[in-house]
Copies of this chain bind each other. A is one copy, B any other.
């Protein structure tokens, strides 16, 4: 029984890692398509839309079956529960990549605004680094790395708030470009939310490592922090 359990748990963990890698790949392709104005690549991202949904459902089923098989020891239990919750965060990130891909397809090529796209490129780079780092932290169950990832989210929140203001101002100055600016706002928001879900992943790593449930989102723990950072700029 225990041999089966151990083998199944190992499989569950490696499937979760695979889902993390697939999510990172989708995010990379979606943001690349957007920044390169590559509609074909965006369509490919949309065609893989169901993959992460399916992976989440399959992980949930595996996790639930495993817990029905035998009562897991405390450490194993935390791993399984964390995968059950964290797979939901990966799936949400997958949803966001399809938003980005859909915006890429609908954007008219004549209407790009380089300055805003440069800021979006910055955001995308930080978010991708965070996702890579959090999956590494998961692979090594490193609390230290998990905390580092969570702190990176503050950079995202700062760009998010300042770019929202900048784009709204630009909208008022050039109303004919409202649809493209609206797309930019959507993508900026999407990347910010992606950062929040990566912070959730970091929280689950802390839980696996220590059994503690923590709130690591710096903006949530101290709502005034982002405003403070913005004033320092």
Nearest Cβ distance between residue A157 and chain B, in whole angstroms? 14
| Cβ contact of A60, chosen from B176, B179, B182, B213, cutoff 8 A | B213
A2 interface residue, CB < 8 Å from B? no
When the two chains form their complex, are residues B220 and A57 in contact, meaning their CB atoms are under 8 A apart?
Answer: no
Bound complex: CA A175 to CA B174 (Å): 8
Among the interface residues A61, A64, A70, A185, which one has the most CB atoms of the partner chain B within 10 A?
A64
Contact with B along A88-104 (1 / 0, CB 8 A): 10000000000000000
- Please report which residues of chain A, range 53-109, place their CB below 8 angstroms from some CB of chain B when the two chains form the complex: 53, 57, 60-61, 64, 67-68, 70-71, 74, 77, 81, 84-85, 88
Taking A68-B77, A71-B71, A88-B85 as contacts, is the C-beta distance between A213 and B178 under 8 angstroms? no
The secondary-structure label for the interface of chain A is helix
On chain B, the residues within 8 Å of A85 by CB distance are 84-85, 88
When the two chains form their complex, are residues B171 and A175 in contact, meaning their CB atoms are under 8 A apart?
Answer: yes
In this complex, the interface size class of chain A, counting residues with CB under 8 Å from chain B, is: 20 to 34
Bound complex: CA A67 to CA B11 (Å): 22
A139 interface residue, CB < 8 Å from B? no
Residue of B nearest to A60 (CB): B213
When the two chains form their complex, are residues A213 and B172 in contact, meaning their CB atoms are under 8 A apart?
Answer: no
A225 interface residue, CB < 8 Å from B? no
Bound complex: CA A176 to CA B178 (Å): 12
| Cβ contact of A168, chosen from B64, B71, B178, cutoff 8 A | B178
Bound complex: CA A74 to CA B69 (Å): 11
Among the interface residues A60, A171, A185, which one has the most CB atoms of the partner chain B within 10 A?
A171
On chain B, the residues within 8 Å of A67 by CB distance are 77, 81
Taking A84-B81, A84-B85, A85-B84 as contacts, is the C-beta distance between A220 and B53 under 8 angstroms? yes
- Please report which residues of chain A, range 136-150, place their CB below 8 angstroms from some CB of chain B when the two chains form the complex: none
Bound complex: CA A209 to CA B85 (Å): 20
A215 interface residue, CB < 8 Å from B? yes
Bound complex: CA A86 to CA B85 (Å): 10
Q: What 14 new A-B contacts, CB under 8 Å, besides A88-B88, A175-B178? A: A49-B223, A57-B215, A64-B81, A67-B77, A67-B81, A70-B71, A71-B71, A85-B88, A168-B182, A171-B178, A171-B182, A172-B175, A172-B176, A172-B179
